[in-house]
């Protein structure tokens, strides 16, 4: 990992700007972009692959991605900040959250982002999945500190949960916010230096978890599933009756679906989409980030780019990026899809509208 020397974002600066979106403007702390990271010129890249005529309901056949920024080690976890009209996303190895907007381009928004409380010997110390709750606060899955954290409205960066039964999580990876305020999140071992073989690992399984009533240092956490080998991206259906989880296991790459009971426990796990054939065809990437459109269609990063999968599980086509693609998020008016693709930040106009818009 390339080293970076950056001034940490002061709590005073955060507090002074807390009302201007989930994170303040980067210039409040004069934090320069790392060497090699830059806004791009919007050049078109990629292509639309149509496998089913229904694909054309969601994107034009001649649509292309625009390249917005380049130079990241591994871009991840995008979320649209409506209050500030900008996108926030992680660079996990660099331990940074970036902000991009059409008005100001690319800025550093938060550094460090996922390793606040000490050093991390792993190659992925930063934040990964990001979300913004109903109060406009940024919620972060933080590899280095092995926790789910949150930026409070007064600017404090606090722990929501970092262990279960006294044992630390591996490295919370991605999250989905329920309308009740509860947080579903996944915990694979990617943030541990040696993965599941790391001596600092305290739990015997990779898990899907639920945090009820999240509050600083509190809330009730429960293990919902311990059977998935590499649970990763996670998303709820529009009516919150189904929870989707991407499994980034090279021997069994897939997206599974669970029924969500009234008490938010999970039942009826089944394979929603099997991606083995896409890996066999030599496509870059693995099942990872998930987003859901208003009609229940999944936009799922995976082998080849962003897979568009109908609610009935049929793969309609792929928004091909040419890169291993980690995650995606709807933004702007809800029809612009942003994608974090390895060293790049991309976007493409769709005909879909994301949930929550």
Task: CATH number of the domain at 194, please.
Answer: 2.120.10.30
pLDDT(26) > 90:
no
Per residue in 272-296, pLDDT tens? 999 999 999 999 999 999 999 999 9
The residue written with tokens 């709590």 in the block is 11
pLDDT for 217: 78
Per residue in 304-325, pLDDT tens? 999 999 999 999 999 999 999 9
pLDDT(126) > 90:
yes
Percent of the chain's residues with pLDDT above 90: 87
**Which residues make Cβ contacts (< 8 Å) with residue 283, sequence separation at least 6?**
302, 303, 304
The total domain count for the chain is 1
Q: How many residues does the chain have?
A: 357
Look at residues 62, 63, 70, 52 and name the one whose alpha carbon lies nearest to residue 323: 70
> Average pLDDT, stretch 24-47?
82
**252 belongs to a structural domain:** no
Per residue in 341-355, pLDDT tens? 999 999 999 999 999
Per residue in 145-203, pLDDT tens? 999 999 999 999 999 999 999 999 999 999 999 999 999 999 999 999 999 999 999 99
Alpha carbons 257 and 236: distance in angstroms, whole number: 9
**170 belongs to a structural domain:** yes
Alpha carbons 141 and 156: distance in angstroms, whole number: 16
pLDDT for 218: 80
Which residues does residue 96 pair with via DSSP β-bridges, in sequence order? 91
**95 belongs to a structural domain:** yes
**284 belongs to a structural domain:** no
**278 belongs to a structural domain:** no
**69 belongs to a structural domain:** no
Q: In 10 A of CB 119, how many CB atoms?
A: 8
> Average pLDDT, stretch 39-59?
96
**60 belongs to a structural domain:** no
Mean model confidence pLDDT for the chain:
92
**100 belongs to a structural domain:** yes
The gap from C-alpha 208 to its chain's centroid, in whole angstroms, comes to 15
> Average pLDDT, stretch 298-303?
98
Q: Provide the CB-side half-sphere exposure for 33 (13 A, CA).
A: 15
> Average pLDDT, stretch 217-239?
96
Question: What is the extent of the structural domain holding 96?
Answer: 9-37+83-226
């Amino acid at each position: 990992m390339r080293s970076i020397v950056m001034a940490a974002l002061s709590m005073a600066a955060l507090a002074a700007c807390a009302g201007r979106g989930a994170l303040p403007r980067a210039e409040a702390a004069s934090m320069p972009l790392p060497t090699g990271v830059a806004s791009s010129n919007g050049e078109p890249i990629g292509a639309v692959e149509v496998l089913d005529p229904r694909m054309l309901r969601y994107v034009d056949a001649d649509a292309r991605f625009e390249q917005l920024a380049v130079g990241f080690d591994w871009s991840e976890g995008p979320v649209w900040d409506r209050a500030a009209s900008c996108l926030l996303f992680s660079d996990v190895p660099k331990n940074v959250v970036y902000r991009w907007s059409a008005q100001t381009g690319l800025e550093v928004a938060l550094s460090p982002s996922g390793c606040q409380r000490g050093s991390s010997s792993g190659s992925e110390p930063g934040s990964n999945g990001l979300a913004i709750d109903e109060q406009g606060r940024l919620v972060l899955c933080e590899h280095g500190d092995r926790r789910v954290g949150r930026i409070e409205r007064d600017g404090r960066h606090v722990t929501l949960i970092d262990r279960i039964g006294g044992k630390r999580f591996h490295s919370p990876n991605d999250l989905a916010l329920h309308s009740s305020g509860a947080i579903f999140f996944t915990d694979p071992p990617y943030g541990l230096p040696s993965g599941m073989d790391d001596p600092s690992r305290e739990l015997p399984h990779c898990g899907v978890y639920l945090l009820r009533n999240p509050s600083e240092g509190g809330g009730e956490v429960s293990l919902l599933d311990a059977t998935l080998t590499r649970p990763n991206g996670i998303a709820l259906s529009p009516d919150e009756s189904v929870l989707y989880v991407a499994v980034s296991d090279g021997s069994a790459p897939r997206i599974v679906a669970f029924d969500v009971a009234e008490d938010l426990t999970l039942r009826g796990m089944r394979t929603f989409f099997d991606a083995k054939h896409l890996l066999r065809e030599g496509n870059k990437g693995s099942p990872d980030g998930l987003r859901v459109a208003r009609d229940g269609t999944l936009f799922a990063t995976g082998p080849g780019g962003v897979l568009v999968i109908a609610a009935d599980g049929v793969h309609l086509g792929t928004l091909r990026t040419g890169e291993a693609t980690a995650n995606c998020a709807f933004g702007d008016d809800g029809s612009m899809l942003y994608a974090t693709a390895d060293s790049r930040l991309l976007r493409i106009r769709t005909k879909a509208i994301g949930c929550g818009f």
